[in-house]
Amino acid sequence: MSAKENYYQPEAECMSREKMHDLQSERLITQVKHVYANVGYYREKMDASGVRPEDVKSIADLGKLPFLTKDDLREAYPYGLLAVPREAPVRIHSTSGTTGKRVVAFLTQQDIDLWYDCCARALAAAGATPGDVVQISYGYGLFTGGAGLDGGSHKLGSLTLPMSSGFTDRQLQFMCDLGATIICCTPSYAEFLAETIEERGIGDSVKLKAGIFGAEAWSNEMRLRLEQKLGIKAYDIYGLTEITGPGVSFECSQQEGLHINEDHFVAEIINPETGEVLPDGEKGELVFTCLTKQAFPLLRYRTRDISILSRKECQCGRTLAKMSRLMGRSDDMLIIKGVNVFPSQIETVLIDYGLSSNYQLVIDRVNHSDTLEVRVELTPEMFSGSGTVGAVEKHERMLRDAIKNMLGIAAKVKLVNPKTITRSEGKAVRVIDNRKV
């Protein structure tokens, strides 16, 4: 433990690795029995893979259990994976996914309490104390962002401003009038807020010291920019509705990877093609097992999120394993002209180039060949200073070369006027793939 660091539950966050191993093992054994006894869907899946609850004697046996995927959740929709009687859960949340059938997750009061503890840990790690005013600008409702951080802020005893997303004028008025010190929202909305603050020249009235940003991918370059523009430290927070929402993992003062709340969730990294479990330090798909959830306890759930695990000591004093910031999703990966492209790679080029992180990738198929157009906004300086046609073309050419260098494929670059790409109040829409029917 470090004297300077701000913990919410140091006994869990700084537990010895041996103790964590024993705690995880004990909880896993109980959880597997609970699931086998109460969820027919699971029982069939486990029977089909020839594994019985007695086979799981410690965390080392985790690999015996079958994986669960989003398809299982869709198949079992809506109540098929509920592990408690219908009367027991008190809350439903749902994924923000835009395709396919929505996934619903259920929580008992205890599930909610433990989830809010996880979010309180994240807030504390970002420096939140009871003296802070925490502005929550994630959406409230089916989305887990608002509820999770709201609950965490209450647990911590901070003054909670439940703004939800949108209504930017009101957000900024409350932020300034009430002296919000911590802001929680998607990084793309944070960027929009920062832009508006700058435009209105109200930076001096903003008292923010930290931001807790997650729910979508954001690069380190974007972090530095948000920190500089808002005068804050920007922390990453990760989670997914199926597992619990925000607070599955969170960044600490070191801002180098996210600590996983391992007393509640076990993480594995697998090869997404073969399902083979990979050692620490190797890149692959994150898989989570819920150790304490009562109502909707998923075991070995494949997230499709790509990351790397590490159990190296962290300067913050937490002993919780870390996952690297997300490197993309295996299903967000675009294949353009046969090349694997992650939107975050393009974002890095744009930000390196001093451009806005408001961009859109438009993919099409013309004459049986893929085309990629990168639309990005000119910064106000570029627009006013060198916004002549010749200068814009020069910027476009240089960007095209930089993208070609990074990806190895040609892209068309289109610099558009500031504020012409639609802003999102929740998760940003970065990719328009016109190839899909």
CA 420 to chain centre: 26
Is residue 24 close enough to count as binding ligand DLL by CB under 6 A? no
Is residue 192 close enough to count as binding ligand DLL by CB under 6 A? no
| Joined tokens for residue 401 | 């070369």
**Count of Cβ atoms closer than 10 Å to residue 86 Cβ:** 8
| Joined tokens for residue 25 | 């093992």
Q: Among residues 370 and 425, whose Cβ is nearest to ligand DLL? A: 425
Rg (CA), the chain: 22
> How near is the Cβ of 103 to ligand DLL at its closest, in Å?
8
Q: Which of 25, 108, 137, 144 binds ligand DLL (CB under 6 A)?
A: 144
Measured between alpha carbons, how far is residue 408 from residues 9, 88, 345, 350 in Å? 47, 54, 12, 16
CA angle 92, 95, 96 (to 5 degrees): 130
Q: Among residues 36 and 265, whose Cβ is nearest to ligand DLL? A: 265
| Joined tokens for residue 201 | 């020249």
Do 246 and 215 meet the contact criterion of CB atoms below 8 Å apart?
A: yes
275-314 binders of ligand DLL (CB under 6 A)? 303, 305
> How near is the Cβ of 138 to ligand DLL at its closest, in Å?
5
Q: Which of 217, 270, 309, 341 binds ligand DLL (CB under 6 A)?
A: 217
Q: Among residues 137 and 360, whose Cβ is nearest to ligand DLL? A: 137
Q: Which of 246, 257, 297, 418 binds ligand DLL (CB under 6 A)?
A: 246
Do 120 and 182 meet the contact criterion of CB atoms below 8 Å apart?
A: no
Is residue 263 close enough to count as binding ligand DLL by CB under 6 A? no
- Give CA–CA dist 147/162, Å, rounded: 9
Q: Which of 25, 137, 153, 241 binds ligand DLL (CB under 6 A)?
A: 241
Task: Name residue 155's amino acid.
Answer: K
| Size, binding site for ligand DLL by CB under 6 A | 21
Is residue 152 close enough to count as binding ligand DLL by CB under 6 A? no
Q: Which of 24, 25, 96, 171 binds ligand DLL (CB under 6 A)?
A: 96
Q: How many helices and strands in the chain, by DSSP H and E? A: 12, 19
Is residue 239 close enough to count as binding ligand DLL by CB under 6 A? yes
Do 343 and 332 meet the contact criterion of CB atoms below 8 Å apart?
A: yes
Q: Among residues 41 and 140, whose Cβ is nearest to ligand DLL? A: 140
Is residue 102 close enough to count as binding ligand DLL by CB under 6 A? no
Measured between alpha carbons, how far is residue 150 from residues 92, 117, 135, 137, 321 in Å? 16, 11, 9, 10, 25
> How near is the Cβ of 382 to ligand DLL at its closest, in Å?
28
> How near is the Cβ of 187 to ligand DLL at its closest, in Å?
8
Is residue 244 close enough to count as binding ligand DLL by CB under 6 A? no
- Give CA–CA dist 7/10, Å, rounded: 6
Q: Which residues contact 113 (CB under 8 A, 6 or more apart)?
A: none
Q: Which stretch binds ligand DLL (CB under 6 A): 41-49, 67-75, 233-241, 386-394?
A: 233-241
> How near is the Cβ of 95 to ligand DLL at its closest, in Å?
4
Residues that bind ligand DLL (CB under 6 A): 95-96, 138, 144-145, 214-217, 236-241, 245-246, 303, 305, 326, 329
